[in-house]
Amino acid sequence: MIFTLAARELRSLFLSPLAWSIIAVVQIILSLLFMIALQDFLVTQQPRLHLYSMPLGVTDFVVVPLYNSASIVLMLVVPLITMRVISEERRSRSLALLFSAPLSMTEIVLGKYLGVVAFFFIMTFIYSLMPISLLLAGSIDLGLFFSILLGALLMVCAFAAIGVFMSSLTNQPTIAAISTFGALLLLWIINMAGNNPGGDDGHFNVLSYLSMLTHYESFSRGIINTADVAYYLLVIITFMVLSVRRLDSDRLQR
């Protein structure tokens, strides 16, 4: 049942020009960045590689920066896709269709969530074809590649969860978009507040722990840390539960 809802969501996304244009824009920007990084690597970095004591390669110079840029671009793009997921239906009053069907709130929220996540997976797959294409000309560090791919996917799942929750709060898609963007940016830069001088004295730094960036960094170094995976899963579960509660409260006493 969840998959029926997800399939409908995905289909509706691709029936609107928004999804296509977003994929196109993201792809153009990322391929430009990819080409610049590749050019830079071939012209400047590669001849000097033997000078480094630590062996770095094309993956570190081209692939990792690509995914880093992608996560910034996605921070801007995720709100645009998730904004209408629930708010638009509330606005056009088509939520009644789902509410009066034999579906639980959890199924409705998860269905919608999986629909947008599927969209972002498709987008990630498309721009991941660029680093994969490097295999035609040489080899890349596949371990690092899969690690950062996993990081990127987890991050976009977390972004989408926040976006779906924001969309469940309002019936104005633009408000959902701007609050999602605000929340994502805040979670991204919150570690700045945590990086106070003398903060590295072994104290557990809550603010920098909350930052998405902190947890993303280890993936970009090729480390899949269960703590970081757990962080993203926790974000996803938290915002899913909140969305279910929010939708439930639509029916309840106000």
Partner 1 sequence: MTTETLVKVEHLSRHYGPIVAVNSIAFEVRRGEVLGFLGPNGAGKSTSMQMLTGNLAPSAGRVEICGIDLLDNPKQAKAQIGYLPEQPPLYRELSVDEYLRFCARINRISKEKISAALATAKERCGLKDVGHRLIGNLSKGYQQRVGIAQAIIHMPAVIVLDEPTVGLDPIQIREIRTLIRDLGKEHAVILSTHILPEVQMTCDQVQIIHRGRLVYNDSMSNLNAQTRATSLVLGLQNPPAIHELQNLPLIQRVDDLGNNRWRLTHAVNQQPGAEIARIAAERGWGLCELAPEFKTLEQVFVDITSAEATSATVPVKEQAA
**Binding residues for partner 1, per CB under 8 A?**
1, 4-5, 8, 11-12, 15-16, 92-104, 251-254
Compare residues 94 and 139 and give the one whose CB is closer to partner 1. 94
- Residue 201 is given by DSSP the state S
Asked if 119 and 157 touch (Cβ cutoff 8 Å), the reply is no
Q: Are 251 and 177 in contact (CB under 8 A)?
A: no
Q: How far is the CB of 1 from partner 1 (least distance, A)?
A: 7
C-beta of 39 vs 104, nearer to partner 1: 104
Indicate the residue among 17 and 198 with the shorter CB distance to partner 1. 17
Residue nearer to partner 1 on the CB measure, 53 or 253: 253
Cα separation, 150 vs 144, in Å, equals 10
User: Residue 166 Cβ, how far from partner 1 at the closest point, in Å?
Assistant: 22
Q: Cα–Cα–Cα angle for 82, 253, 160, nearest 5°?
A: 15
Residue 107: C-alpha distances to residues 2, 68, 73, 82, 205 (Å): 5, 33, 30, 17, 36
Instruction: Specify the residue, 99 or 146, whose C-beta has the smaller distance to partner 1.
Output: 99
Q: How far is the CB of 176 from partner 1 (least distance, A)?
A: 19
Spatial contact of 66 and 26, defined as CB atoms under 8 Å apart: no
Q: Which is nearer to partner 1, 70 or 110 (CB)?
A: 110
C-beta of 13: minimal distance to partner 1 in Å?
9
**Tokens (6 digits) for 178:** 């701007």
In the complex, what is the shortest distance from the CB of residue 40 to partner 1, in angstroms, rounded to a whole number? Answer: 43
The CA distances from residue 153 to 117, 146, 219, 228, in Å, are 9, 10, 11, 13
Q: Contact at 8 Å (CB) between 76 and 181?
A: yes
Contact between residue 149 and residue 67 where contact means Cβ atoms under 8 Å apart: yes
Cβ 18 to partner 1 shortest distance, Å: 11
